[in-house]
Structure 1
Amino acid sequence: MSRMVQTGSMIGLLGLLLLSCQTNKKKESSDLSASYEKKELEYARGFELFRSEKDQVLRVYNSKSVDSTYQDFKLVAKKTAPDEIQVPCKKIICLSSTQLTYFFALDDIDPIVATNSSRHLFHKALGEKIKSGEVKRVGKEGHFNTELIAGINPDLIFVSPYKAGGYDALKNLGIPLVPMAAYDEKSPLGRAEWIKMIAPFIGKEKQADSIFQKVSLRYDSLKNLTQNVKKRPTVFSGKMRSGIWYVPGGKSFYANYFRDAGARYIIDDEKQGAYPLDFESMYTKAAACDYWRILVPEPIGFGRKALLEQDGRYGDFKAYKTGNVFMCNIREKPYYEQNAMKPDVILADYIHIFHPNLLPNYQPVFYEALQ
């Protein structure tokens, strides 16, 4: 009986401690809001920005956590404490091409001093800097050249929170690791709005606001074109990879794109992420679909014949038979360097494919029919 009482007391105490932590966390957030002016964001959900007369605070949320934990980064004009980041930054390391897109959109690559890889980099100016050695290559996840990174001594490193276990070696360098989680946003404009997260680090807030506003207005204008279409063609996405078909869920980023472009995504569920299916399950769902969208890293010139050589069963899909497979080959197009900041362009590509009469003179940029 005594043990039960002790156990009950411990559980009660633990509950109080947990409640206290949650309350402190909420209080901290409330205090921050009281001391700072919060920047209004339209679509992005993964970060927040707070400004005072002296500094700014960037808050990046961990969407993978059930309790919505976050990291705060204090941005200051003059650094006086180890946990502060002095802005504008002079030396930044980007560990993903998807991070670079925001610097390209802001037309400012000068602060970039190193990247993880430049294997398929299309950006000419940054490519030349890498070739000359002005911008260093620091390796990939799990194989970073920590000595080189320490020697560069950057102001910060933008990391991807989706690369599990790849940054342990960097945590001991004492360099701020700022998560770039734009790719967890479920709306195309949500991803684009992360340009406002990058902007304070390089002193380009006004430019970022202006660029995003233009992209947003054009995206909404294009989206309005499809609101009253009478027929919405069906579409499915992806292909087999190592024996598995990874399917974007019915509430995923791609599903939102297809809906805005006036199509009906064949996967109708509540899932936001991608999940695996075998070929038979996918065929059952998509055999009669009107269109098939694929994003691939294939040799230049990859076409219908090459796709069929990968798996002869692809030829059984209606979309393949009717020539309605549309593809973006990342070996030929700078998709990963640009797509986050060009949702309006990608939406126009999709609309032109699904409803060519709505954009009759449009020339696709990323996606085109597989020949």
Structure 2
Amino acid sequence: MKSRILLLFAFLVLISCKREQKISSSDWTLISNHLQYKEQNGTFQLKSGNFTYDFKTDQIPFKKIVLLNASMAGYISELGAENLIAGVSSPEYIYSDTIQNLLKQGKILNVGSEQKYEVEKIISLKPDAVFTNYIASFDNTYQLLKNNGIKVIFLDEYMEQKPLEKTAYIKLFGKLLGKDKEAEKKYDEVERNYNELKQLALQAQTKPIVLANIMYGDIWYLPGGKTSTAHYISDANAEYILKNNTEEKAVTMNFEEVYAKTGGVQYWVNAGNHVSKKEMLSMNSLYSKLDVFNKGKIYVITGREIQKANDFFESGVVRSDLILKDYIKIFHPELLPDYQLTYMKELR
């Protein structure tokens, strides 16, 4: 009997060792459930969502790229790699002064919009890669680009709900653009700041209740309890009205359903792009029934906005620490007495 037990123990140890060896030999850098990459045997392999890419190490770093999503410009700007951008779509949504100046100088070209990309112009630029979110209706466009030797890389950064995981995409851009050290340094800085701010928020003596987002028509699109907004509110030591919800997407409710949950709400954040409470009320008179509208504080994310361009969706994809800092300043102003809001502002 004893020999059988020892044999079983030895077998389990062997299996455990094999498993451990298998895991450690993979060498994947895990950014999130949507993104991972590794370098091995002269190749760089990337898994992004449902897509897998293999590059020979002599194919990277890329020297010329095209961006088909304005949010990705935030990563490039934080790395100081704007000179690698050959083309962008929908430039009116890009906030960066540097990129806008390069557009004016003709060093970066406008290659269309999400309604219609100018495929011939993109091909003529001969970029090493095009970065975009995957949109099924553009499959033919993507295939045309691939047929002309252009790598089309699909990223899901917009789906990331954990703030630091969205920030961590900068590591991938660092790898692909030859900015490894800059990317690691920036991520470490943001991560350190974020965790220090999170600890600072715990010093607050109060934990206010928070409402988020606005109505569109008859429907209120509330952030689910596992969305980035919910994470920020929680990390800022406040209580979101849907804190127990498990959705990573918007939760739809009518006004009466939301009204029933707003007792004691002191702050209303991400209240669209309204310019005043009066204008907000002109869009939907039901808001006047909410105590938070009449007695609380309302904040919008237009602190850094120029026409259609909003930096919350650009540099904010990297600077999750500054977004958290804004929320802490809103909910616990006594903790950051000298800080001025970056992306948000109070609606009056």
Higher helix share: 2
Deviation at 1:288, TM superposition (A): 4.0
C-alpha contact 1:235 1:265 (8 A) present in aligned 2 = yes
User: Would you say 1:131 and 2:104 are equivalent positions?
Assistant: yes
Measure the CA separation in 2 of the matches of 1:277 and 1:167. 34
Structure 2 unaligned spans of 5+: 1-20
4+ aligned runs moved over 4 Å, structure 1: 30-34
C-alpha contact 1:45 1:190 (8 A) present in aligned 2 = no
Q: How does 1:206-355 map to 2 (within 5 A)?
A: 206-267=181-242, 268-286=244-262, 288-294=264-270, 296-297=272-273, 302-329=275-302, 331-332=305-306, 333-355=310-332
Structure 1 unaligned spans of 5+: 1-29, 63-69, 79-85
C-alpha contact 1:142 1:166 (8 A) present in aligned 2 = no
Measure the CA separation in 2 of the matches of 1:88 and 1:361. 41
One-letter amino acid of the structure 2 residue matched with residue 114 of structure 1: G
In structure 1, the partner of 2:8 is none
Cα separation, partners in 2 of 1:295 and 1:317, compared to 1, 3 Å: closer
User: Would you say 1:38 and 2:28 are equivalent positions?
Assistant: yes
Deviation at 1:341, TM superposition (A): 0.9
User: Would you say 1:171 and 2:153 are equivalent positions?
Assistant: no
Structure 2 length-normalised TM:
0.85
One-letter amino acid of the structure 1 residue matched with residue 305 of structure 2: R
Superimposed CA distance per residue, residues 72-109 of structure 1 (whole angstroms, 9 cap, x where no aligned partner): 2223243xxxxxxx211122111111111000110111
Measure the CA separation in 1 of the matches of 2:140 and 2:207. 47
Give the fraction of aligned pairs with identical amino acids, expressed as a percent. Answer: 27
In structure 2, the partner of 1:184 is 159
In structure 2, the partner of 1:65 is none
Q: How does 1:75-224 map to 2 (within 5 A)?
A: 75-78=55-58, 86-161=59-134, 163-174=135-146, 175-224=150-199
Deviation at 1:183, TM superposition (A): 2.0
Measure the CA separation in 2 of the matches of 1:182 and 1:282. 29
One-letter amino acid of the structure 2 residue matched with residue 340 of structure 1: V
Superimposed CA distance per residue, residues 10-66 of structure 1 (whole angstroms, 9 cap, x where no aligned partner): xxxxxxxxxxxxxxxxxxxx99974x6333x4x633211211252321121x2xxxx
* Secondary structure of the corresponding residue to residue 285 of structure 1: coil
C-alpha contact 2:90 2:114 (8 A) present in aligned 1 = no
Residue-pair matches, total = 320
Measure the CA separation in 2 of the matches of 1:32 and 1:72. 19
Tell me the C-alpha RMSD between the 2 structures.
Answer: 2.1
One-letter amino acid of the structure 2 residue matched with residue 89 of structure 1: F
Cα separation, partners in 2 of 1:303 and 1:316, compared to 1, 3 Å: same
Q: Which structure exhibits the higher relative contact order, with contacts defined as CA atoms closer than 8 Å and separated by 6 or more residues? A: 2
Structure 1 length-normalised TM:
0.80
Superimposed CA distance per residue, residues 152-177 of structure 1 (whole angstroms, 9 cap, x where no aligned partner): 2221111113x442443222321222
In structure 2, the partner of 1:81 is none
One-letter amino acid of the structure 1 residue matched with residue 245 of structure 2: D
* Secondary structure of the corresponding residue to residue 286 of structure 1: coil
One-letter amino acid of the structure 2 residue matched with residue 367 of structure 1: M
Measure the CA separation in 2 of the matches of 1:71 and 1:103. 22
